[in-house]
Structures are given as C-alpha cells and as structure tokens.
Amino acid sequence: MIPGHLCMTPLVHGSSVILRKGLSQHLCAGTRAPGDRYRRVLQSKLTRHSLPEIAAALRLRVVANWLPLLIGSAITVVVNDIATRANIRRAPRKFMRSAAKKLSKAYKVYANQAEERPQAERMLREFLDMEGPKEKQSPSFLLVSGPQGVGKTTLIQSVLGQYAEDGRWIIPLQQDVEPGKDFDLTARLRARLKVLELPPNFSCLPEDLLEILDEDCRRATGGPVILYLALTTRNRADAFSANECDDIASRVGALARRLTYDFPRAKFIIEVSISAVADLMPAKYNMSDMLIVDGLPFQQFQKVATDEYHKLLQQVLGEDESRWKSGLEYFYCRFGGSFRLLQDMLRAALRETVEFEQIVGQRYRNAVAPLDTALKETTAPKELAGLSWFFPPWLFPSKYEAFLRTVAETPKGYMTKNAAEIELERELLKLAPRERLLKRLRADAIALKHRFYIFKMVGEEDEKMRELGYL
C-alpha cells in the first residue's frame, strides 16, 4: 500500500516526477533481500516511463497472461457439460430400456387367459392400433371401468400380453389410493422405469422420461410405448368423499392428458376400479374415451364359474348340477357376473355353514339400502315432509322411483329427455359416492350403478331381468 504522504505529493507539487521518485524510494527502502533485483528493475522503469505507460503495460501483460487461460477454462467447462449431459441421458436410457423389456416379457403369460369378450376386446385393439399418439388427438387415452370382479384386469392383461408377444413395450403401473392419503404418480413411474436416483441436470418429468423411452420403442418395435395404469383401493370398503373422488380424477386425468394430448408420449390405458372417480373423468377430460366392461352373459358366466370354482360349488351346493345352476342364477340376478363376489359368498356360506342363497339375500338387502332411502323421498312440499306418512301414496309419490325404473329398463344406457329428468339426474349424481345410484356410460347416457339396484327396480323378478336382456 502506498503511504499517504506520497499520494498527496502530486497534489502539492503538481508533478508526476515527484510521485515516481517517491515510489522508487519506497520500493527500494529497507535491507537488501532476494526481491532487491526486482525493486531495482521496477525503479528504473518507474524513472524512465510515465504512469499511463506503466498502467498500459501492466494491462497488456495481464491480458496476455490471463486471456488464454480464461478462454481455455470456458471451453473446458462447455465440453465437460456436453459430455456430462450425454452420459446423463445415456445412463437412465439404458436402465429404462432394460426395465421396459423385462416388464413386457413378463406380460406374455397373460396372452391367452381372457374369456370371450369380442366387443370390449375390439374397442381395446382399435384404440391401441389407432395412429398416434398425436398432439391434440381425441381420444387420446382410454378409461376402462366396470363392476368389481367382472374381469377388467384379466381382459386388459390378455390384450396387452398379445401385444407384448408381438414385441411391443408395456409399462404397467399400479397405484393404490386410500381416503385422506396423498399419492405421487410421477414417483411411481420413475420407480417402474428403475430410474430412482436421477443424475444432476436430468429432468424427472414423466413426459421427458417417456420421450426417451418412446424413441427407443419406436426404433425397436415400430410402435409407441403402451402405458397401463391400474387405479385400485387397498380396502374395498373404503369410503371416499366427493371431494376426494374429484381430486383423484383430476390428478390422474391431468397426467394422462399431459402424456397423450399435450405432449404425446405413449398409448395410455387407465383401469379405474372406483366407479365414482370413473364417472367424473369423461366430463372433466373430453379427450378421453371410456370402455365399460360388464359381466359375462349368464351362460358364459356359468361355464367359467363351474370350471374355476368346481370344488367350492361342490362343497357348498352339493353334487347336483341343476342346484348349481339355480344357485348361480340367484346370485347373477342380484350381483351380475362378479367372480370375486361369487367366490367371497361361496366361502362365507361354507365358513358359516348356511345356505348360499341366504348369504346372497342378506348381502343384497344390505346393498340396496341407499336405494331404499332414495325411494322414500317424496314429491311432498318441504313444509309437509315430516307428515308424508299421513297422506296416501298416490298424493305425493316417490320423487325418483319412476325415473329410476325407466333407467333400469334401458340396459344400453338412458338419455334424459327433458328438463325435469336432467334435474333428477343432476341430483342423483351429486349424492355421496357410496350412496350414488347412477353411473355415466357415456357423455350423454346414464345407467344404474349396480346390478342389485337394477334387480330392485324391476320388481325383483327373474323373468323381467331375462326379458330385458340382463340374464
């Protein structure tokens, strides 16, 4: 640091000569040391040259010495960044490609396990074979819904297994949802693709992960990746509120839209076992299509049940096959073609040592309780609601009975015809999920939510069920 009295010299004398002499004396002061030679050289330069010349020379020396180093460092950083990004992209790509091949290979075992469902299978294949995915394409993803235990998963796995045999890559995901608990579909996708710890600077967005995978899949198989999400519940007795169903539908639908409609990366099939969620998604996301998987016709149901549960039927219903048929028909009228429910009730009858029809009838009466509650609501004014029992039934009939009976008698879906029916439909669809009586088959068609509601509304007559085509 230059002493203060030297810095003031130019101001006092007005001469840069005094400053040069002061600097040279200051630098050369003190005992002689290894740096004396440097001081003498600098003193001579300070004596011969002006300060601007010295500053220009120093600047030139700094530029000459440091500029190549700075340029070289910048080039090194850029080259290293490019190499790192290439390695980052290549490493996850390897893991994802390997995971996709393993998952697809595992799906080949399902290729021949489905029952005959030509219409549902044709719709699945039409969606998978349709050109795309393309940006803003409709339908961009497919929802699969239906009663529990009718074979939705079996059907989807069978069709996808056949595509896996042909070399296509299948990425199956399963997401369990519970009331009041959060879930992360992006984390589930990353876990499935074996990309749990992504390197720095690598995007973990699902559309970016699938873009990499889709490039490899198209190159290797000639078609896009098929993404299959099964949305299930851990406990079938879980009660979801309307807000929770809306939140689940929004999250799943938003991901499906992003991966198929906004950024087309895969063919996306979503199996939804929560009917209240499935009912909301077509209205929220009109770029989707819905496939309703109903139970098998009774003849096919009887054949499959006899083959699958032969020993259980023998233990519960005895050896008489005509007894098997009557018992299965009694169950089918009330609960449709749900193999899961059939198995549960057969085991309950065996465990409790009671008649099979008694178990079925008891569960049927419990199941139709929400419908019984709705049928008790009358058209009486609110002021007379508490006195409705006092008036004859014809004066204030049930508010919903006629409408629900009309819907029940239209197996392929009922389309509301006037403002009064639209209002009734809106009211019934606003009920809490566990109490809801209607489901949406298409954007313009509704049906009763469960087979036991249909059986109740047709007067609990087997012959009427057969006449309408339900049996």
Contacts of 174 (CB under 8 A, 6+ apart): 188, 229, 230, 232
How far, in Å, CA of 380 to CA of 389, rounded?
10
Query: What pLDDT, on a 0 to 100 scale, did the predictor assign at position 222?
Result: 84
Residue 229, strand partner residues: 173, 270
> Which CATH code of 3.30.40, 1.10.10, 3.40.50, 3.30.450 fits the domain covering 89-292?
3.40.50
How far, in Å, CA of 45 to CA of 305, rounded?
107
Which single residue is written with the structure tokens 């012959």?
463
Three-state SS annotation for 244-311: HHHHHHHHHHHHHHHHHHHCCCCEEEEEECCHHHHHHHHHHCCCEEEEECCCCCHHHHHHHHHHHCHH
Signed CA dihedral, 76, 78, 84, 90: sign only: negative
Decide if 463 contacts 455 (C-beta within 8 A): no
For the chain, which residues make up each domain, given as ranges?
A: 4-48, 89-292, 298-367, 370-468
Query: What pLDDT, on a 0 to 100 scale, did the predictor assign at position 93?
Result: 62
Query: What pLDDT, on a 0 to 100 scale, did the predictor assign at position 115?
Result: 56
Query: What pLDDT, on a 0 to 100 scale, did the predictor assign at position 407?
Result: 92
Query: What pLDDT, on a 0 to 100 scale, did the predictor assign at position 1?
Result: 39
Query: What pLDDT, on a 0 to 100 scale, did the predictor assign at position 454?
Result: 93
**Apex CA 90: angle with CA 87 and CA 91, to 5°?**
85
Query: What pLDDT, on a 0 to 100 scale, did the predictor assign at position 361?
Result: 94
Backbone angles phi, psi at 238, to 5 degrees: -60, 135
The tens digit of pLDDT for each residue in 26-56 reads 444 444 444 555 555 555 555 555 566 666 6
How far, in Å, CA of 72 to CA of 78, rounded?
10
How far, in Å, CA of 368 to CA of 468, rounded?
20
Mean pLDDT in consecutive groups of 10 residues from the start of the chain, 471 residues:
40 42 46 52 55 65 68 71 50 63 67 67 89 84 86 85 84 86 82 59 67 81 87 77 87 88 88 83 84 85 88 91 91 90 92 92 93 83 62 73 92 88 88 83 82 92 89 78
Phi-psi region of 353 (alpha: psi -120 to 50; beta: other; left: phi over 0): left
**Apex CA 129: angle with CA 124 and CA 133, to 5°?**
105
Q: How far apart are the first and last CA of the chain?
A: 103
pTM of the model: 0.70
Radius of gyration of the chain (CA): 38
Decide if 160 contacts 107 (C-beta within 8 A): yes
Decide if 163 contacts 128 (C-beta within 8 A): yes
